[in-house]
Amino acid sequence: MVLAALAQGLRGRDPTPILIEELDAKIRQAVPAHNTVMRLLPKPAGGKRIPTRWEIAIDGPRARGKWSFTNGQLIRLFKLLHACGSA
C-alpha cells in the first residue's frame, strides 16, 4: 500500500527529499492505524561512495518493519507498479 501510494504521488518522477516531504501525508495515511515514515538514509562518513538509500518504516498493531531501497531500486519498482496498474 505504501509503495503504491508513493508511485501514484510521484507520477513518474524520481524520488527526492522535497517530493517525499510533499507526499508525507499520503505516506502516513497509506496503512491505517499505523505510523508510516519514509526517509533518506544518511551517507556514511569518510567519503565512501555508496548509492542513495531510502528507508520505509511501518509501526502499528498489525505490521512492524523497516525496508531499505537504493534510489534505483525504488525507481524500477515504481515503474513496475505503474506498468501493472497498481499505482
User: pLDDT digit string (tens) for 34-75?
Assistant: 999 999 998 878 777 888 899 999 999 999 999 999 999 998
Band (pLDDT 50/70/90 cuts) for residue 87 is low
Q: What is the pLDDT of residues 4-25, one digit of tens each?
A: 888 888 888 888 989 999 998 8
pTM as predicted: 0.81
Q: What is the pLDDT of residue 64?
A: 95
Maximum separation of any 2 CA atoms in the chain, in Å:
42
Q: Which of 32, 7, 31, 34 is nearest to 20 (CA)?
A: 7
